[in-house]
Chain A
Amino acid sequence: MPEEREYRTEAIVIRKTKLGEADSIITFFTPHRGRIQGFAKSLRKPKSKLAGHLELLTYSQVSFARGRNIDTITGAQTIDAFLPLRNNLWLSSCGLYVAELVYHFTPEGQENFTLFRLTLDTLRRLCRGEDTEVSLRFFELHLAEGAGYRPELDTCVNCRSALAETTNFFSPQAGGMLCPSCRQMQPTGFPVSPAAQGIMRHLQRAEYPAIPATGIDPESLHEVEKISGAYLKYLLEKDVRSAAWLEMLKKSLG
């Protein structure tokens, strides 16, 4: 495909970086171009026509002009501003967490339509404000899978035997579950209760609407959160910064 001088794409704003006095570099996640960056001139001045259409967590139609080092944003029109996220501290924080993870898990300029759909669906689910914890856990597991790190939850990653209905162990390094006897030989990984294993398998297999909103007990879900958080951290080789903020909010919101 010859390189066009100008192009247009749907895009979700996942990161903004200030540049100089009033300019910004914006990172988008797009359906067919993957993660891309654009330069936005004078975006931070009150009279910028583009600013509201390029705010974090906005789904917009964006036009670019190709540049030597970075493409310049020439236009933007909101498709979905995810309004319910704007007036709710918890929901917007969840949205920022999703954006941060997408940023770190996607290489620049590589199409990943599955992950794009997942991201858009997750932000829309967050807008509904129900079961945000389930939405986030579903997102985390499918994000890892979409990025090529599907965790093995059904068989032991070491001996390949089917896992028994007991406490097994999740090893981020091994990319999945270890049975109790294999875990004795390589003492890595977190113990996972049968209930939490059940939730993880269900989340991994299920289409989102099939998830029962009420059938998941909060304690096991919290266990899943710790495991999935540890897995993502291992894959990224660093902390997910907004996870600490979510944790803090959860404590202060009670």
Chain B
Amino acid sequence: MSKQEPLSPATDAIGRLVQEFSRLPGIGPKSAQRITFYLLRAPEERARALAEAITSLKQRVNLCSVCCNVTENDPCAICRDSRRDSTMICIVEQPQDVIAIEHTGAYRGLYHVLHGAISPSEGVGADSIRVKDLLNRLKNTTVREVILATNTNTEGEQTAMYLAQLITPLGIRVTRLARGLPFGTELEYADDVTLTRALEGRQEF
């Protein structure tokens, strides 16, 4: 394919697939073409397996009715695991954040996935994310601590402050992930907010 003659969009099977791939995050038109032609040359089973994986993703994956994480079984494996500490809930923005925290192996409590963060100027308020599900869940459980693990950007902080305001009156301990210096970075590049918080959150050494 030369750059001067792009495939006419969506008129043929190749064009359609290229167009679909180029809608995916991080994939430009060039990569979309490369993947499409790779599949064209690949054995038929390979292509069929990919198509089936995509179909079953949408058919089988739902949200856990307890923690709102993505799951094939409801409740999800984490919520069903009786060895986990059900007095603790860690609140995250995205399912990917659960994967990141699980990977550390350092946390044994449960989760709640908000599927977003409050962003007033984008029109994302508390009703657009899974806040109501969280509050209903907190009313009927023996949760003693809620860990706010939203991002440390403005939206994540707004969300954390808002949730703290709703949850604290329920008599539940509300904590926030420590916001300090990331591992492997140099102090001189740290911004004022990070440094201030790192100082405030200093610990006995």
Contact = CB atoms under 8 A, between A and B. Distances in A.
A and B interact: yes
A96 B158 CA distance: 10
Contacts of A83: 192-193, 196
Given A89-B165, A96-B120, A47 B184 contact: yes
A252 B154 CA distance: 20
Contact of A52 (B120, B161, B184, B192): B192
State which size class the interface on B falls in. Answer: 20 to 34
B133 interface: no
Contact of B122 (A81, A89, A241): A241
B168 to A, nearest CB: 12
Contacts of B182: 46-47
A47 B185 contact: yes
A49 to B, nearest CB: 4
A246 B125 CA distance: 10
A96 B126 contact: no
Contact of A15 (B26, B121, B158, B193): B121
Interface string A65-95: 0000000000000100101001111001100
A87 B161 CA distance: 8
Contact of A242 (B121, B191, B192, B196): B121
Nearest to A243: B120
A242 B116 CA distance: 17
Interface stretch (A2-10, A53-61, A170-178, A197-205): A53-61
B120 A53 contact: no
A152 interface: no
Contacts of A52: 190-194
Q: DSSP class of A's interface residues: helix, strand, loop or mixed?
A: helix
A86 B157 contact: yes
Nearest to B159: A89
A46 B157 CA distance: 16
Contact of A245 (B120, B185, B196): B120
B189 interface: yes
Contacts of B192: 52, 78, 81, 83
Contacts of A96: 120-121, 154, 158
A132 B158 CA distance: 18
Nearest to B28: A20
B25 interface: yes
A97 interface: yes
A164 interface: no
Interface in A85-128: 86-89, 92-93, 96-97, 99-100, 103
Interface in A204-227: none
Interface string A3-27: 0000000000001100011000000
A244 interface: yes
Given A21-B25, A47-B182, A55-B154, A86 B193 contact: yes
B4 interface: no
B120 A56 contact: no
B162 interface: yes
A162 interface: no
B146 to A, nearest CB: 16
A248 interface: yes
Q: Which of A47, A83, A89 has the most CB of B within 10 A?
A: A89
Given A47-B184, A89-B165, A97 B157 contact: no
Contacts of A21: 25-26
Which of B154, B184, B185: most chain A CB closer than 10 A?
A: B154
Top 7 closest A-B pairs, CB basis? A52-B191, A242-B120, A245-B120, A89-B161, A100-B121, A81-B192, A56-B154
Interface of A: 15-16, 20-21, 46-47, 49, 51-53, 55-58, 78, 81, 83, 86-89, 92-93, 96-97, 99-100, 103, 241-242, 244-246, 248, 252-253
21 contacts: A49-B185, A49-B189, A51-B191, A52-B190, A52-B193, A52-B194, A53-B191, A55-B153, A55-B191, A56-B153, A78-B191, A81-B191, A81-B196, A83-B192, A89-B158, A89-B161, A93-B158, A97-B120, A97-B121, A245-B125, A253-B165
